[in-house]
A = this chain, B = another copy of it.
Amino acid sequence: MNTIQKLEALFKQFPGIGPRQAKRFVYFLLTRNPSYLEELKSLIAELKKETSACQSCFRYFPNAKIKQSLCPTCSDQTREENVLMVVSYDVDFENIEKSGAFKGKYFILGGVVPILESEPEKKIRINELKKSIAARKSKGLGEIIFAFNTNPEGENTLDYVKEEIAEFAKVNNIKISTLGRGLSTGAELEYSDTETLKNAVKNRQ
């Protein structure tokens, strides 16, 4: 394989990128001026250097100067310590954080547990989560919110994580909750599924 084909092959691994778009990316780069390529190259080189995974929530955050072990959210002392939201991905954290809907702490699992997965502990940070919960106990953790996509993989992840955490939570009197189900913005009653309608009636307010 030549350089064009090798780069195409790498771009094809990018999320959501097929062979045609991978090819377009290469031609796009070929028509950029040298300074663009130079910047892209050095940003890729710096990315991991200037970014850390937070020791507490495991999300990636920019951490260029003084090497810190905690991300700004985890080191923010104004945030509530008694409630922990567990999400799958960094982008889930970002979107929830942008909404301003939550003022507690987070934990990023780093993935989902696929249906029929035989080694779920290799797909997500379940052991790190257990340690995190144990450590938070002394800081007054009273509730864990599981915030997963409501699709089959998210539901499967929920089932697995709940079971892994249940005993510890019970013994330590920590409440386990999941995000409220119901009508999302823009929903039409004519087309809503049974599960959504049942939750919408149950959670009426």
Contacts and interface: CB of A to CB of B under 8 A. Distances in A.
Contact of A25 (B15, B31, B92, B188): B15
B27 A91 contact: yes
Interface stretch (A6-14, A119-127, A129-137, A160-168): A6-14
Given A30-B60, A98-B194, A179-B182, 8 more contacts: A3-B46, A7-B43, A7-B47, A44-B44, A99-B192, A99-B194, A145-B204, A180-B182
A181 interface: yes
A116 interface: no
A88 B188 CA distance: 11
A156 to B, nearest CB: 14
A44 B181 contact: no
Contact of A101 (B4, B98, B198): B198
Contacts of A182: 179-184, 199-200, 203
Interface residues of A, number: 89
10 contacts: A2-B64, A10-B40, A15-B21, A37-B48, A95-B189, A101-B202, A179-B182, A179-B201, A180-B202, A182-B199
A189 B92 contact: yes
A145 B182 CA distance: 14
B189 A205 contact: no
Contacts of A78: none
Interface in A88-104: 88-92, 94-96, 98-102
A66 interface: no
B190 A91 contact: yes
Contact of A91 (B23, B34, B96, B179): B23
A147 interface: yes
A23 B96 CA distance: 15
A195 interface: yes
